[in-house]
Amino acid sequence: MRIAVDAMGSDKAPGPEVRGAVDASLAGDVEILLVGDETMLQSALEIYPKRGKISIVHASQVIAMHDSPIQAVRQKKDASILVGLRLVKHGEAAGFVSAGNTGAVMMAARTILGPIRGVARSPICQQLPTKNGKVLLVDLGANVDCSARHLCDFAEMGAIYSKFVLDVANPRVGLLNIGEEQLKGNDVTKTVHRNLSAATNINFIGNIEPRAMFEGQADVVVCDGFVGNMVLKTTEAAGGLVSHIIKREFRRTWISMLGGLFAYGAFKRIRHDVDPNEYFGAPLLGVNGTVIILHGSAMARGVANAIFGARLAVEANINERIRDGAEELRNAEAALNAAESKP
């Protein structure tokens, strides 16, 4: 299988992308197409005598993090993001991975690959650690204003990704809300609760609060991108604060420093559990192609895992499953509306 990687996207490009591509190509049966400046990539690859199946696809332009996504996609036609996505569109690559400008990746993917039939919005999702494992949060910021239909689509896509890529047998889907009761929330969330409760293809468990989410009571949690992005950034900020406090306290006395030394192994395992580089990246669902988005600070390990995640998504044929699931949702919604309209 061939996966295209935007080699110019991360904060320290192309180092993490090249190293991650080398690691992934040596560890699995996957061919990598590194997309970016050919001269720079050739130089970066020279330090790896063993590199697996890696090829370079030249792209003369780069979309920077500070670029306007709309203008960049329109004006930088030979940017690494656009070149990589066109490889997917033309069947030269099965999937695309980028740690570049997230807005540009989303816009270019919707423009070049197009949306899956029946899906109006494309959410970004990512796993977060919980007390009992992991939870998939959908959406993380791609869609700040969502209708009930959008959120129902997010639930269906998240459930499919969780089941067929993350190997969760019957994913429990929860709707992030201000209370567990059915009548809590605004008109949109109430409608979502009603429609998902009637959807037979989704294991909907009802409303879920943030505390229950981090206790692991759901496998997939759905919300609009505004709420999801706030949850993600608040979680990251809270984690950083807790880490700072722990380090400060361990440095207070020689006794506490000794205790910190003994606890080093435990802290290392904790850091591993919360490190986004240990996950499959953040898939952009709902487009006609497999697209994985990474944070700009992604390391080589994160790039390699995103490549593995892209391969799993392609092998699971999730886009066809999403297309079928969207049709089931529309049929269930129509049946529900028809039943309620009868006198």
Q: Residue 320 pLDDT more than 80? A: yes
Domain boundaries, the chain: 1-119+286-316, 120-276
Distance from C-alpha of 284 to C-alpha of 97, rounded to nearest angstrom: 10
- pLDDT tens, 260-283? 676 667 666 666 666 677 888 999
DSSP string across 178-224: S-SSTT-S-HHHHHHHHHHHH-TTSEEEEEE-HHHHHTT--SEEE--
Q: Residue 144 pLDDT more than 70? A: yes
Higher-confidence position of 301 and 265: 301
User: What's residue 107's pLDDT?
Assistant: 95
Q: Residue 313 pLDDT more than 80? A: yes
User: What's residue 250's pLDDT?
Assistant: 78
Q: Which H or E run includes 98?
A: strand 95-98
Percent of the chain predicted with pLDDT > 90: 70
Q: State the pLDDT confidence band at 20, using cuts at 50, 70 and 90.
A: very high
The DSSP output letter for 165 is T
Q: Is 17 helix (H, G, I), strand (E, B) or coil?
A: helix
Query: What token pair was written down for 217?
Result: 């009571």
Query: What token pair was written down for 64?
Result: 């920077």
Distance from C-alpha of 6 to C-alpha of 252, rounded to nearest angstrom: 45
- pLDDT tens, 68-115? 999 999 999 999 999 999 999 999 999 999 999 999 999 999 999 999
Looking at domain 120-276, its CATH architecture is 3-Layer(aba) Sandwich (3.40)
- pLDDT tens, 180-203? 888 888 999 999 999 999 888 899
Looking at domain 1-119+286-316, its CATH architecture is 3-Layer(aba) Sandwich (3.40)
Domains 1-119+286-316 and 120-276 share a fold: yes
What integer best gives the mean pLDDT of the chain?
90
Q: Average pLDDT in the 204-220 region?
A: 95
Task: Out of 24-28, 208-212, 323-327, give the one with best mean pLDDT.
Answer: 208-212
Higher-confidence position of 97 and 339: 97
